[in-house]
Structure 1
Amino acid sequence: MTTQQIIIQSLHQIDQHHPDFQQLVALSQCDSVTQINGQVLKLEGVTRSAEALEQMQRVCFGAQWDLTALSSPLSLSDFKLVAMDMDSTLITIECIDEIADMQGLKPEVAEITEAAMRGELEFQESLIRRVALLKGLDASALERVFEERLELSLGAATMLKAVQAAGLKTLLVSGGFTFFTDRMKSMLNLDYSHSNVLEIENGKLTGKVIGTIVDATEKQRTVERVCAELGISPRQAIVMGDGANDLKMMQISGLSVAFRAKPVVRAQAHVALNFVGLDGVLNLMQ
């Protein structure tokens, strides 16, 4: 494997004399080390095997640093769209788990959520099972989750500000619910959103979803549809996600970003941000 540069990022200052960093330099056999800032370092002129790169990844994971290997330089101008999953990606929570908490059912629902995110359970089946458990819940619970528990992920606001300033369009595509995505779209001035519709009758959740369920295939179709509307290739899209439901849309993108993701997703993404914020993607751009 040939890699021209490797970016190392951390939430904290990286000491170039730290034994872990010195081990990375030795493993990479890089030509030079460039300090972008105290928390971001670039190893340039790297030509190493896949095995050496895996060893470097293990060192970084242990040190709580994020490593990204680039075969060619990236620029925001290479891209026209950023597509993001919502739950546990753009925001810190899984909305359905927090809604379930209002019913005293968070452990049962969260267990199903985790299995689906790991790819052990088909998303459609998992969503139907979870939503059914919410039957009879007062719809005001959704507002409480939005007001009391929903927070943007670390670095999300900085990342969005930068990509929007650079002229990229933004898409929020979620296996979650329109109650939340519609509000996030408005609040963050996003261009597109697509998610599931919870059925509500007489102010209560019926335990059902209306229309097409936004599963992995529907997420991929949504990215493709928005790209077609914009007259661009999916290869001009940056796609961010954390669970197995995001893999299909990530696989068609030009740059896939696994954020605080399950191992199955980290293994298949171009970039894995395990420790830094979503704005870590900006440090990969020149």
Structure 2
Amino acid sequence: MEMIEARDWEVAGAGMLDFCDDVLELEVVEGNPAGIRKILDRCFPDSDLLLSNGLIEVPSLFVSDMDSTMIEQECIDELADFAGLKDRIAAITERAMQGELDFESALRERVGLLKDLPETAIAQCLEERIRPMPGARTLVSTLKARGCHTVLVTGGFHSFADPVAELLGFDRVVGNRLGLHGGMLTGGLVGGIVDSSVKKKVLLEESERLGSEVFSLATGDGANDIPMIEAASYGIAYRAKPKARSAADGWVDRGDLTSILSLFGIARQDWVFD
């Protein structure tokens, strides 16, 4: 607080939440958001934090990335392992997530390398490799119990996203479709590409459908999530790459996905554990 007040910014209130005793709530009457963010990030490294220009409201719309956000893995990297190409494809994935490569070009290049991989590898990969991120189901279930509409939007594939969404309880899925023929991957994609612009478009369309006053939450970890994160009422970067973290209103670096519930002031006793 001293560092904030040293900038002549008034701290109107500070205290631990009664029902979330590990959550510190600060109310700053005046101040530069970027400056406050810099101070808090310096004082609370590896923390979970959410900044807002007004009272923090529980969202009525939740739109989330899948890979490395709602699940622990990058599906295309794990699938590539069945083709003996994981290191090669993972290197491309990492550069795309860092924002160093054009997403669509990187996606098409990686999918092309999977040509002639048996379709059965998808089911095997799902069974053996893909695991929900800790806290994912509780986060989705708790928000839905409060009337929140939930959408899983991914630059990955419906082959993975559909079963993941069913497991976690998402209401809608938006993703890419792998080309398949004769039980083998063709190395191509079917239909349009879900990239950063589509993710943002999904969030804006769902917000408009639900009403202009809706509060929205978007979570993600990579450069492809930045437009969606910036367009949401609350954009939270989950253990994210630097560019995505810098673009967000908040971040989770320490806890699991249930930390988001605490940041919105939802007491643990009100969480839904399915």
Same fold (TM over 0.5): yes
The match for 1:255 is 234
The match for 1:40 is 23
Displacement of 1:124: 0.3
Runs of 4 or more, structure 1, over 6 Å off, are none
The amino acid that maps onto 2:73 is I
The match for 1:268 is 247
Under a length normalisation based on structure 1, what TM-score does the superposition of the two structures give? 0.83
Q: Structure 1 residues 53 and 217, CA, compared in 2 at 3 Å: closer, same or farther?
A: closer
Question: Would the aligned equivalents of 1:84 and 1:90 in 2 still touch at CA under 8 Å?
Answer: yes
Alignment match of 1:54 (pick from 38, 41, 57): 38
Name which of structure 1's ranges 272-281 and 39-48 shifts more when overlaid on structure 2.
39-48
Question: Would the aligned equivalents of 2:60 and 2:214 in 1 still touch at CA under 8 Å?
Answer: no
| Percent identical residues | 35
SS at match of 2:133: coil
2:62 is the counterpart of 1:86: no
The amino acid that maps onto 2:42 is R
The match for 2:258 is 279
The amino acid that maps onto 2:241 is K
Displacement of 1:75: 2.1
Question: Would the aligned equivalents of 1:132 and 1:207 in 2 still touch at CA under 8 Å?
Answer: yes
Distance 1:206 1:32 in 2: 57
Alignment match of 2:107 (pick from 127, 146, 153): 127
Quick one: higher RCO (CA 8 Å, sep 6+), 1 or 2? 2
Runs of 5+ in structure 2 lacking a partner? Answer: 6-10, 266-274
Displacement of 1:47: 5.6
Runs of 5+ in structure 1 lacking a partner? Answer: 1-24
Displacement of 1:81: 1.0
- Report matched runs for 1:214-253 at 5 Å: 214-228=194-208, 230-233=209-212, 236-253=215-232
SS at match of 2:203: helix
Question: Would the aligned equivalents of 2:97 and 2:224 in 1 still touch at CA under 8 Å?
Answer: yes
- The total of aligned residue pairs comes to 257
Q: Structure 1 residues 191 and 43, CA, compared in 2 at 3 Å: closer, same or farther?
A: same
Alignment match of 1:69 (pick from 47, 51, 54): 51
Distance 2:27 2:61 in 1: 28
SS at match of 2:258: helix
Distance 2:85 2:252 in 1: 30
Question: Would the aligned equivalents of 1:199 and 1:210 in 2 still touch at CA under 8 Å?
Answer: yes
Displacement of 1:41: 2.6
Distance 2:231 2:51 in 1: 19
Displacement of 1:99: 0.3
SS at match of 1:89: coil
Q: Structure 1 residues 55 and 87, CA, compared in 2 at 3 Å: closer, same or farther?
A: same
Distance 1:275 1:38 in 2: 16
The match for 1:14 is none
Under a length normalisation based on structure 2, what TM-score does the superposition of the two structures give? 0.86
Question: Would the aligned equivalents of 2:50 and 2:250 in 1 still touch at CA under 8 Å?
Answer: yes
Question: Would the aligned equivalents of 1:28 and 1:47 in 2 still touch at CA under 8 Å?
Answer: no
- State the Cα RMSD in Å: 2.0
Q: Structure 1 residues 111 and 209, CA, compared in 2 at 3 Å: closer, same or farther?
A: same
